[in-house]
Amino acid sequence: MSDTPTSAAGVFTRNQIQAAPVVLDLERIASGISQALIVNSGVANCCTGKPGMQDAVAMSRMTADSLRIIPDQVLVASTGVIGPRLPMAKIESAIPKLVAEARPTGFVDFAEAIMTTDTVPKLVTRQALLKGAPFTVTGVAKGSGMIHPDMATMLAFICTDMGATAQQLQRILTAGVNDTLNKITIDGDTSTNDTTLIFANGRSGVDLQSPKDAALFNEVVREVLGELAQLLVEDGEGATKRVRIIVKGARSEASAHVVANTIAKSALVKTALFGEDANWGRVVAAVGREGVPIEPEKLKLFFGDILVFANGCGTDDANGKQVSSVLQQPRFTITMDLGLGSAEVSVYTCDLSVAYVRINADYRS
Amino acid sequence: MSDTPTSAAGVFTRNQIQAAPVVLDLERIASGISQALIVNSGVANCCTGKPGMQDAVAMSRMTADSLRIIPDQVLVASTGVIGPRLPMAKIESAIPKLVAEARPTGFVDFAEAIMTTDTVPKLVTRQALLKGAPFTVTGVAKGSGMIHPDMATMLAFICTDMGATAQQLQRILTAGVNDTLNKITIDGDTSTNDTTLIFANGRSGVDLQSPKDAALFNEVVREVLGELAQLLVEDGEGATKRVRIIVKGARSEASAHVVANTIAKSALVKTALFGEDANWGRVVAAVGREGVPIEPEKLKLFFGDILVFANGCGTDDANGKQVSSVLQQPRFTITMDLGLGSAEVSVYTCDLSVAYVRINADYRS
């Protein structure tokens, strides 16, 4: 919650199956004004029909009542299992306590409270100066599985004391999400509850008056979003590696993104990453299968800085010790140069481990 | 090999990265005539450049020399790791022995010899009568991972003593593959070596003279292809379940196929199958994410015969014992009725298990 109403903007899942809180927030965020956010984890409140929508509304009303603010200015987010109803009695008894304990430094508790299969809370704060006045951008996110955002991600919330209009926030958030949260994948499954919200209450005393101001603020927000995106991948369900897939030399950004996503989502590439196996053939095969026209002879593939594939064949270095040591790192880069143009996209992915399967086989039990 | 030249036709991977044997066979099959096939497993002879193509040609020439037939009438197939060169000395010394031991009943040995991560050989034989004369169709396939065929599958070979022209064979094979091998997925990765070949040497004494003859023969071939497709899924890497995904009530067959594939490929659906968890929310979420327009309220989802989702919500039966017992079966059906039209497609998939990850993390070591 904010002491005063804030400008607010959001980006939501493009999945056609949308959870009740997503539908409710889409409606409420249209006003561009919000003052509080209530989030639960464990139950997604998705595929719950009219009763689910009533639960979401009730959850916001209870929060508004406790805070003595307008219910329409409370946003709601849920994450967890699809299908079951929210435990409303539990929520009702918890809200007054949450409100009583709310404080400016509560972000860490919040980040912990919204975790599901996450193993670490995800919290990023940046401070910067605008016209000599300091402002802060703080972001919190959760998400570990069902992560293949499409115009949004799992749950991510950005709060700032910058002064900005809802329109300014929306523009900055949409562009920023597209370059960060929309460029990660954990398992290729797009959630029904993806929600990213930004709140700006203007408490810093500065606001965005010129395009230059907006550019500075934009940069800080993007840094926070980028950092959160990387934290999400690093904490991907069962993940032991965070791998950046760069596709360059593409004819268009769209085709680069398709190729990068195909590599990033391939079960065979992801299991090879888990096995620390420089199996470049699987990367090359993935590039060939998704329908973006390529010229096999022009492809150049690098693991880290080491060229492993060129002129249609593996290189002498492809099976060397240097490549093995790249694969053993917890973070590294795979670069595919298509040799056709100048467009470039990078996507973050993680490996597919035995633990991922275990987590998701046992998720509801 | 066949005692006499046969009519022959083939369907090959649409992956733009094609192994040397695929490129060679595409060239040679144009003649519509073939007499022998040589296959190796362990090395895919893919991304091996000109030397790899020379190896494929040499492998066919050695086989032709031993058999005293024309090299152009020998087809070649390889399966295994992408990148390394074929062990030509080993192949050269093995071929004369293979030729000396070739016999009509050698199909079982052949099916065993071409296995990689397969755990069982895949061999299907059907006999039928045409105008009172018996003819036989025998199919052999291999494939366990990197299975998401696109206009072909991993390796599958059909031999028949029916008399047929190459054109007749091509028509029957292309349509048959589309309904069978192209409707399975194990891990969503399309191989670089996918090859399906059919050989017909006419030894039965009957041939396809009328459309009615072709229809009968077509049915037998399709049965063999369908059976092979199911054997492949059942022996999917690490698979413990074979699940048929039926999507019906679609506006077009193409959109039904997209939806069925999205369910069949979802890591979250496949891990839930492994966990024997009737997590219908993951199926519904998968349907919503792939861009085919749906109306959530119209969806009906069945596990086996049990309705688990309708009118936008889970049903009372969704968490019952009956559903659990369906999920515990080694084979069952998931049916998604989109409620929009009359098109229907079914696809076979398997679960994603801990063993799949282990097999593919350690594949090259």
| Strand-by-strand arrangement of the B6-12 sheet | B33-34, B6-12, B195-200, B155-160, B133-142, B122-130
Q: What is the CATH number of domain A242-361?
A: 3.10.20.340
Kindly determine whether residue B47 and residue A313, on different chains, have CB atoms separated by under 8 Å.
yes
Phi-psi region for residue B336, left (φ > 0), alpha (ψ -120 to 50) or beta? beta
Kindly determine whether residue B267 and residue A150, on different chains, have CB atoms separated by under 8 Å.
no
Task: For residues A193 and A63, give the distance between their C-alpha atoms in angstroms, rounded to a whole number.
Answer: 20
Task: State the average pLDDT over residues A172-181.
Answer: 91
* A316 and chain B in contact, CB less than 8 A: no
Residues 70-99 of B with CB under 8 A from A: 81-84
Report residue B115's pLDDT band, with 50, 70 and 90 as the boundaries: confident
Residue A305 exposed, middle or buried by CB count within 10 Å (0-12, 13-18, 19+): exposed
How high is the pLDDT of residue A152? 52
Whether B242-361 and B6-234 are alike in CATH topology: the answer is no
Task: For residues B28 and B166, give the distance between their C-alpha atoms in angstroms, rounded to a whole number.
Answer: 12
Task: Find the closest chain A residue to B309 by CA distance.
Answer: A47
**Using CB atoms, which residue from B189, B296, B313 is nearest to A266?**
B189
Task: Find the closest chain B residue to A80 by CA distance.
Answer: B281
Task: For residues B130 and B103, give the distance between their C-alpha atoms in angstroms, rounded to a whole number.
Answer: 25
**Is the pLDDT score of B151 beyond 60?**
no
Nearest Cα neighbor of A44 from A112, A146, A119 is: A146
Q: Residue B87's CB: how many other CB atoms inside 10 A?
A: 14
Give the DSSP H or E segment for A129: strand A122-130
Task: State the average pLDDT over residues B264-277.
Answer: 93
Contact list in A for residue B311 (CB cut-off 8 A) is 49
**Is the pLDDT score of B15 beyond 90?**
no
ipTM over 0.85: no
Give the DSSP H or E segment for A6: strand A6-12
Contact list in B for residue A294 (CB cut-off 8 A) is 16
How high is the pLDDT of residue B153? 59
Give the DSSP H or E segment for B113: helix B107-113
Report residue B80's pLDDT band, with 50, 70 and 90 as the boundaries: confident
**Using CB atoms, which residue from B82, B309, B352 is nearest to A285?**
B82
Kindly determine whether residue B17 and residue A277, on different chains, have CB atoms separated by under 8 Å.
no
Task: Please state, for a pLDDT cut of 70, what percent of chain A lies above it.
Answer: 98
Local structure of A257: helix, strand or coil:
helix
**Is the pLDDT score of A259 beyond 90?**
yes
Kindly determine whether residue A83 and residue B267, on different chains, have CB atoms separated by under 8 Å.
no
Kindly determine whether residue B272 and residue A361, on different chains, have CB atoms separated by under 8 Å.
yes
**Is the pLDDT score of B128 beyond 80?**
yes
Task: Please state, for a pLDDT cut of 70, what percent of chain B lies above it.
Answer: 98
Spot the catalytic one: B138, B153, B195, B335: B153
Contact list in B for residue A361 (CB cut-off 8 A) is 271-272, 274-275, 277, 353-354
Q: Which amino acid is at B358?
A: R
Nearest Cα neighbor of A326 from A298, A305, A295, A354 is: A305
Q: Whole-number mean pLDDT of chain A?
A: 91
> In chain B, which ranges are E strands?
6-12, 33-34, 36-43, 74-81, 122-130, 133-142, 155-160, 195-200, 242-250, 300-303, 306-310, 313-314, 331-337, 343-350
Quote the tokens at residue B132. Answer: 């009172």
Are the C-beta atoms of A227 and A236 separated by less than 8 Å?
Answer: no
Task: For residues A42 and B208, give the distance between their C-alpha atoms in angstroms, rounded to a whole number.
Answer: 63
CA distance B163 to chain A (A): 35
Kindly determine whether residue A267 and residue B82, on different chains, have CB atoms separated by under 8 Å.
no
Q: What is the pLDDT of residues B272-288, one digit of tens each?
A: 999 999 999 999 989 98
**HSE (CB half, 13 Å, CA atoms) of B323?**
20
Are the C-beta atoms of A155 and A147 separated by less than 8 Å?
Answer: no
Contact list in B for residue A279 (CB cut-off 8 A) is 81-82, 363-364
Report residue B152's pLDDT band, with 50, 70 and 90 as the boundaries: low
* B309 and chain A in contact, CB less than 8 A: yes
Residues 11-50 of A with CB under 8 A from B: 14-18, 44, 46-49
Task: For residues B271 and B284, give the distance between their C-alpha atoms in angstroms, rounded to a whole number.
Answer: 15
Q: Residue A3's CB: how many other CB atoms inside 10 A?
A: 9
Contact list in B for residue A296 (CB cut-off 8 A) is 16-17, 47
What b/e sequence results for A195-216 when a residue is b if at least 16 CB atoms lie within 10 Å of its CB, and e otherwise?
bbbbbbbbbbebbbeeeebbeb
Kindly determine whether residue A268 and residue B82, on different chains, have CB atoms separated by under 8 Å.
no
Tell me the CA distances in angstroms from B351 to A185, B258, B290, B365, one per residue in order.
21, 19, 20, 24
Q: For chain A, what's the residue count?
A: 365
Task: For residues A275 and A268, give the distance between their C-alpha atoms in angstroms, rounded to a whole number.
Answer: 10
Residues 247-266 of A with CB under 8 A from B: 265-266
Delimit the domains of chain A by residue range. Answer: 6-234, 242-361
Task: For residues B324 and B308, give the distance between their C-alpha atoms in angstroms, rounded to a whole number.
Answer: 12
How high is the pLDDT of residue B241? 93
Contact list in A for residue B286 (CB cut-off 8 A) is 189
Q: Residue B47's CB: how many other CB atoms inside 10 A?
A: 28
Are the C-beta atoms of B141 and B159 separated by less than 8 Å?
Answer: no
Q: Which amino acid is at A355?
A: A
How high is the pLDDT of residue A193? 83
How high is the pLDDT of residue A10? 92
As a whole number of Å, the end-to-end CA separation of chain B is 34
Are the C-beta atoms of A20 and A53 separated by less than 8 Å?
Answer: yes
**Is the pLDDT score of A4 beyond 80?**
yes
How high is the pLDDT of residue B337? 98
Q: What is the pLDDT of residues A326-350, one digit of tens each?
A: 999 999 999 999 999 999 999 999 9
DSSP bridge partners of B78: B40
CA A164 to chain CA centroid, nearest Å: 23
**Using CB atoms, which residue from A47, A352, A354 is nearest to B284?**
A47
Pairing of strands B6-12, B33-34: antiparallel
Task: For residues A208 and B293, give the distance between their C-alpha atoms in angstroms, rounded to a whole number.
Answer: 40
Contact list in A for residue B188 (CB cut-off 8 A) is 265-267
Q: What is the DSSP letter of A189?
A: P
Q: What is the pLDDT of residues B211-225, one digit of tens each?
A: 999 999 999 999 999
Quote the tokens at residue A290. Answer: 């998704």
Are the C-beta atoms of A158 and A198 separated by less than 8 Å?
Answer: yes
Residues 175-204 of A with CB under 8 A from B: 187-192
Quote the tokens at residue B46. Answer: 């893919």
Task: For residues A47 and B318, give the distance between their C-alpha atoms in angstroms, rounded to a whole number.
Answer: 12
Kindly determine whether residue A146 and residue B285, on different chains, have CB atoms separated by under 8 Å.
yes
DSSP A19-32: -HHHHHHHHHGGGS
Task: For residues A9 and B137, give the distance between their C-alpha atoms in angstroms, rounded to a whole number.
Answer: 64
Nearest Cα neighbor of B277 from B229, B241, B313 is: B241
Are the C-beta atoms of B108 and B101 separated by less than 8 Å?
Answer: no
Q: What is the pLDDT of residues B201-211, one digit of tens each?
A: 999 999 999 99
CA distance A122 to chain B (A): 23
Q: What is the pLDDT of residues A192-243, one digit of tens each?
A: 888 889 999 999 999 999 999 999 999 999 999 999 998 988 888 889 999 9
Contact list in A for residue B16 (CB cut-off 8 A) is 287-289, 293-294, 296
Kindly determine whether residue B314 and residue A47, on different chains, have CB atoms separated by under 8 Å.
yes
Specify the residue for token string 């009438």: B73
CA distance A73 to chain B (A): 27
Active site residues of A: 153
Pairing of strands B6-12, B195-200: antiparallel
Task: Please state, for a pLDDT cut of 90, what percent of chain A lies above it.
Answer: 69
**Is the pLDDT score of A89 beyond 60?**
yes
DSSP bridge partners of A245: A334, A347
* B54 and chain A in contact, CB less than 8 A: no
Question: Mean pLDDT lowest for which of A49-63, B142-156, B272-286?
Answer: B142-156
**Using CB atoms, which residue from A46, A191, A361 is nearest to B275?**
A361
Nearest Cα neighbor of B312 from B278, B292, B287, B346 is: B287
The CATH homologous superfamily for domain A6-234 is L-amino peptidase D-ALA esterase/amidase (3.60.70.12)
Nearest Cα neighbor of B336 from B293, B285, B288, B300 is: B300
Local structure of A355: helix, strand or coil:
helix
Quote the tokens at residue B148. Answer: 């998401």
